[in-house]
Every structure is written in structure tokens, then in C-alpha cells.
Structure 1
């Protein structure tokens, strides 16, 4: 195996990850690229997982791990200085390719400057162009020579704007088996094999728990009152959320079996459950990959909701990823595999009724599981390899036109 395209010198590859999830993606990508280029040097911004793969981080990844408009505004001068310094350093180093990993607000600006200067750029994880304004796809194309997409419906959107986009598969699809083992998950969580189980996941952020915790826990109590012997498991996303959930449960009436509160173990809780009640977001994709029927609820601030509706910012009438994927994969324009109760419909009574409807309809649960298995396969770009392998292949292909006689990072076109 050559260590660089066309047998040239070992390449310098830059990766820019801005948060914990990007660090995991970056670590897998570094490992997959190193299999192709054993002597490559990897530099940029990354966390502990990437550094464990031999990555050289020029900056602390926590400098980019900001959430919310207020935090970004407060740190804007520092972020602008960091971006200017990073661009200058990359232009001096001239890597063979620069890969921005998610964090579009920061990375797309960096990528645009570098692409204009003649460096090859890729953006790993497409923003949700299928849900929000599609015109953003053209803007992304001005920053990235190639967009690496986690969902199969995304490349066609970019193609309408003449942008090179590749479906590389979703990394989460590699972490779940195609056939979920409920018995093993229940044994790991010390749950009875024959009891009905409901998993409740009211979000991973404090703002989500503030809006959803009350109705979700109330809905769980209603379901427990209607199903004898029901076990309710609630995995906390982190220690801070664990304490907040404990406080909420302490305030609740204890007229049924107390929920089983977990410190983490969300995937095991989903796999152990018969039905999952959860907040809209990535967790719906995880529940789909665990092959568990689900009810999805969500609330945002009333002001944000009205603004989004007024400006017609949303381009879809479904919100949960399993429903979006089902339509994109040709299961029907009106198919809804995961019932959604959004905003004013997200009440304890309606959530409980939707959960009970799934518990009481085994035929429907079986059909949903079969559909989720089909969607799981659709999220694997290459069933013989991982999503990281597919992403590495797309990046290596982008590097291929490099002239081995020219300085690293200088392409022919």
C-alpha cells in the first residue's frame, strides 16, 4: 500500500472538530485514513479520542464547544481571533486536504477561506438541508469541495445545486446490530425478561427537561397505572441531568412502581424496552436502530415556534428522523412510523394514549420493527465496511488528483 496518493510523500491531513460528537467522528476517521496512509500526519483541532489515534491538536477542542447564541456572542472576539490564526496556520502548512467535522458555524467559514486559497476542503456531516432552507446547500458548496453526508437523501439535494456530495453512511448504524438483543439488554439492566418495559428519555439538555420532564413523567405514570407490572426505565444523559431527574421524581406522586433511574445506558434502556417515549432529536435515530417502537414529543419556546411557523423555515411536516428517513427511502409520502406530539399536542394525556396504543397493538409493533430494520440497512453506505471507512474513501478520492511532485496541498485544478 502506498503511503500517499500516487506514491508521493506521506500526506499532511487537517481535521477540525468542534465538540464531543465531532471528536468521536474524527477519531474513527483518523483510524480509517491511517489504514490508507500509515505515515500520514494528522493536525488541526480535536479532542482526547482523536489524540489517542495520534492526532496533533493545535487548539483545545473546548474552545469551540459553545451552545446557544448568548455563549457564542460572549466569546465572539476570541473565536474570530482563533479562526484567523487557524486559517493562517493552515495556509502555511498547506495540508493535502482540510476536513471540517460538523460545527458548521465555525468550520464553513474556515473552509471557505482555505478553498479560495486553493486548498482542497471537505465537510463531514451535512447540516440539515432537508429540514431547513435548502438554499444553504449552495452556500456550503462555496466552502467545501466535497460534502460527506450521513443520510441517503442528502446528496440529491446538493446535486440540484451542482455540489459534489457523497453518502458515507451514519456512524450510529455501525454501533447497533441489525437484530437487537432485548434479553441481553434486560439482563444487563437487571430487568425481568417477561415484564412490559417502557423507556423514557425526556432530552439531554436542561432546557429540554424543563419543558418535557413534567409531561413525560406524568405520561409514564398514566401508562404504568394502565399496564400491570410495567417497568419504567429513565436513562440520564449525564450526571447533571441525573440529579435533575431525581429532583423531578421526588416531587412526583409515588402511587405506582417507582421508575428505574439510570446513570447513562441509554442504548441498553432502548434495547430492553417494548416501547420508547422520547424527545425529538438524535435519540429517535438511536431508538430506530435499536428497533423499538416509539412515541416522540417535543416543545420549544412559544416565541421560537411562532417565528419558525411565520417564516416557513421548516420544509417538512414530520420531525422525527425515522419518519423523515421512511419518506426519503420510498416508504410513502404519508408514512409516520413514530407518532409525533409536538408543541401544544405534547401533553401527558396525549403522550400516554399514544404509548398505550403501541403497547396494545403487537401487530403494529412488529411492522414498525421490520421497517426500522430496512431503514437501518439504508443508513449503511457499505454493509461490508464502516461509515468511517466510506468517509475515508471519499476523502482519499478527493486527494487523488494531487500531483506528487507539487508541494503538499497544491492540486492541479
Structure 2
């Protein structure tokens, strides 16, 4: 079946990137295909007629969502009306699950084939949501294999397409060349330290990470530390914290961005839980994941989250490859102990780098091509479990 009309809805920068890559592949497979819906500049450059600006759905926090709820309801109603009038071959929501799953359900009930790209963390908390997802979509496209296994267990049609970040990052990288680019000592042990991209993360983790790094430097006097600041605001905050650790500051390189380069240049990585852990794994570097949050948030999370692990490398492997220190366990002493052991045990570190490279290869599947193929199969009514061998 040749796709003629595809309705896409993305609500944030990462979704715009995924959507643009998918659109390029769909155009290659289905010449003349038209796109409507909602997307950002990258999707518009690929031929999207966007009904609303990308940032329309970029609302964070309960209070902010409630304040913008009437506008969000109006936007969803408008997109629904337009999609029903246009009658696309398929509608795909890209991430933004709180908004898109409701729209997908309305369109599916009206007879339009629907799919969703990027699974919400239903496998981690509020697993009962999968029943609503099953009613909203004809198929789910996941970035990670354990997500696909979860949906299969709940009888939701699913295709694991691979992770675009795994496609982007090479299976081999050059630690020495990257050190030269960053002007980092070539013959010293190097640690990349990433306390997070959000102000709250730096507030909760910054001083703990720096105290741990200082202790580690005392044990390993040649150690050099590289800290990539995600934004100018994070750089100012980290610089202010470093002022309390003058000896550490002397052997620290503070970078503007360049998180990926910092990780490639490193021997070990200390980071906050999140996408950075996936990127460190795809750079094939040993790491320690630590996280702190407000006490009330942690109390609630312990009761809602159903997974054994919090870091993506462990979730993907379904085993403990990466040490995780959460809340009170994430003390400077405990962090320094774990990192010191990593630095000292080179054979284990190199073995972990090799294991990460193997996992990287399993995630490197040309995600955009695979997603485009999956949408064509779904619109044509092909059973996904027969069409794909994951």
C-alpha cells in the first residue's frame, strides 16, 4: 500500500527530530505522500503543514497544565476535526502521551488507523495505563527492546524500531583524539561529571558530586575531571559550587555543552539518572548513576515505580551493569568508593565497555527506516508480529 496522507502530531523538540527523520523515510518509500498535523521547524522543512507551533504542548507541572488546560483542549479538538476532515491513511502521535493518546483514541474510534511513537514509561509506573493505550492505538513503536516485551505481554501490537541515538553514535570512538580536542591530559585518568541539565538536578546533586570528585582526586592524584555544562545557567551554578572546592577546580575542565565529547574522553562517568546514562552507554563508558530528589517526591516514587532499576543501561540489559545510588545512598563517600573501584579495576572496566558496544549494536537498527516500514505495514493491515522479527 502506498501512503498518500499521514497525520503527525509532535509536541517537543525530541519529537520534532524523530518526526523529521521519519518523514524523510516515508517520502523515499511513498513519493507524493502529504503530511499534516503539528510539528516543529524540522518537520516543517520536510513538508509538514503544521496547524500549531511546536511549543504549544510544552507545558510542565500540574499547575501549568491546569492553567493551560482550556487551550490544550481547544488544540486537540481542532486537530481532531482537521484529521477527520482530511481522512489520512494513518495518524501517528510522537511522544507527548498525555496529549496524543487521547487524540489517538478519538480518531481510532472514528475509524482512522492510529499509532504512537515513543512509549510512555508505563512499564515503570501506573501500569494499568496500558489498557487505555490498547484502546487508543493500533500499534506502538518503541525505542527500546524491554518496552516492546512489555507491550507484547499485554497483547498490544508493537514494533521495536531501535533508538535514533544509537544510529547517530558510531560503534567505535576515539578516546585519545577526543582528549586532544578538549585539551584534556592524554596520559591521566579522566572522569566526566554530569550533574544534570535542570536547575533542580544541580541543586540536589551538584555539591554531592563535587564532594565525591574531590575525595576521588585525593585517592587518585592524577585524576582530571571534565564537567560539561548543559546551559549557560548550569555553567554559572556549577562554577559557583566549584568555588568551594579550589583543589578540585585546579584539575577540572568546565565545558559549554559537549557532553558527548566529555564522555568519550573519559575513563569513567558520574551522572544523574536519565537520558545521559543511555548516551554514556552508547559512548561505551563505565558509569555510576546517582540521583536525589525532594523527600516527598522520593516517598511517592518508591510507592509508584515498579522497576528494579532506574537507569536505562540496566533496564535494557535487564541486569545490574551500572551501580545506582539513590537518595540517602548517594553520599559523597559511597560515590567515591564505587568510582575508585572502577578506576582501579581496568579489566572489569574494559569488559563493560565491550558489553556496552554489543548492546549499542542491538539498538542500532536505522530507527527512522524501520518506523516508516512499520507505518506502511500497519496502514496496509499487515500483522506486525508476522511482518517483523525482533
- With the length of structure 1 as denominator, give the TM-score of the two structures: 0.89
What's the counterpart of residue 81 of structure 1? 74
Q: Could you tell me whether the CA contact under 8 Å between 1:231 and 1:259 is conserved in 2?
A: yes
Distance of 1:70 and 1:239 partners within structure 2: 27
Select which of 156, 164, 188 maps to 2:181.
Answer: 188
What's the counterpart of residue 316 of structure 2? 325
Select which of 244, 255, 258 maps to 1:262.
Answer: 255
- Structure 1 position 70, deviation (Å): 2.1
Select which of 356, 371, 379 maps to 2:355.
Answer: 371
Select which of 228, 249, 272 maps to 1:279.
Answer: 272
What's the counterpart of residue 61 of structure 1? 54
Select which of 26, 31, 38 maps to 1:38.
Answer: 31
1:347 aligns with 2:331: yes
Gaps of 5+ in 2: 383-390
Counterparts of 1:19-38 in structure 2, within 5 Å, are 19-38=12-31
Select which of 337, 342, 345 maps to 2:321.
Answer: 337
What's the counterpart of residue 399 of structure 1? 379
Partner of 1:286, secondary structure, is helix
1:253 aligns with 2:237: no
After superposition, the C-alpha distances for 1:92-132 in whole angstroms (9 at most, x for unaligned) are 11111111000101110110100000111110011123322
- Structure 1 position 390, deviation (Å): 0.6
Deviates more, 1:146-155 or 1:100-109: 146-155
After superposition, the C-alpha distances for 1:254-282 in whole angstroms (9 at most, x for unaligned) are 02424211111111111000000000011
Partner of 1:118, secondary structure, is coil
- Structure 1 position 135, deviation (Å): 2.3
What's the counterpart of residue 296 of structure 2? 303
After superposition, the C-alpha distances for 1:355-385 in whole angstroms (9 at most, x for unaligned) are 11100110110121121112112213x3xxx
What's the counterpart of residue 104 of structure 1? 97
Q: Could you tell me whether the CA contact under 8 Å between 1:234 and 1:260 is conserved in 2?
A: yes
Distance of 1:172 and 1:132 partners within structure 2: 24
- Structure 1 position 55, deviation (Å): 1.9
Distance of 2:184 and 2:130 partners within structure 1: 46
Partner of 2:28, secondary structure, is helix
Partner of 2:247, secondary structure, is coil
After superposition, the C-alpha distances for 1:41-88 in whole angstroms (9 at most, x for unaligned) are 111111112122222211101111122222212211111111111111
Gaps of 5+ in 1: 328-334, 403-413
Distance of 2:199 and 2:139 partners within structure 1: 35
- With the length of structure 2 as denominator, give the TM-score of the two structures: 0.94
Corresponding pairs, count: 381
What RMSD over aligned residues (CA atoms) do the two structures have, in Å?
1.5
Partner of 2:240, secondary structure, is helix
Larger helix share, 1 or 2: 2
- Structure 1 position 229, deviation (Å): 2.4
What's the counterpart of residue 282 of structure 2? 289
Distance of 2:73 and 2:209 partners within structure 1: 41
1:389 aligns with 2:369: yes
- Structure 1 position 29, deviation (Å): 0.8
Q: Could you tell me whether the CA contact under 8 Å between 1:138 and 1:158 is conserved in 2?
A: no
What's the counterpart of residue 236 of structure 1? 229
